[in-house]
């Protein structure tokens, strides 16, 4: 695996710590999902047959890995829509709504 792909996998793993998935899934499942995502982004040098065989040899539940992948993709989708400048106004409106309901 190229060094850039490994670095991307580490970044993805670090991002997973900003979610609750570290409490839901075992570390090896998150690591495999990160490797999978980094390979998809990089397209690596492995052929599809080699990659499929590598994942098959791991003996993990593919369903769990794909759930982690989907959760990570959902997190990245939310993060791309996040705009820091909007937050003070949103928090102020939230506080005002709470105060109005009391």
Give yes or no for residue 52 having a pLDDT over 80.
no
| pLDDT single digits (tens) 57-100 | 888 888 899 999 999 999 988 888 776 777 777 778 878 888 88
pLDDT of residue 46: 53
Instruction: Tell me the average pLDDT of the chain.
Output: 83
Rounded to two decimals, the pTM is 0.71
Neighbours of 81 (CB within 10 A): 7
pLDDT, position 33: 92
Closest CA to 18 of 59, 72, 61: 72
Compute the average pLDDT of residues 20-36. 93
Q: What are phi and psi of 61, to 5 degrees?
A: -75, 110
Tokens 């820091």 belong to 84
């Amino acid at each position: 695996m190229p060094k850039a792909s490994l670095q991307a996998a580490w970044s993805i793993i670090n991002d997973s710590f900003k979610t609750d998935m570290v409490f839901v899934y075992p570390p090896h499942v998150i690591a495999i999902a990160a490797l999978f995502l980094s390979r998809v982004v990089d397209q690596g040098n492995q052929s599809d047959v080699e990659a499929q065989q590598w994942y098959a040899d791991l003996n993990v539940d593919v369903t769990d890995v794909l759930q982690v992948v989907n959760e990570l993709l959902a997190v990245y989708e939310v993060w791309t829509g996040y705009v820091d400048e909007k937050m003070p106004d949103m928090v102020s409106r939230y506080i005002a709504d709470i105060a109005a309901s009391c």
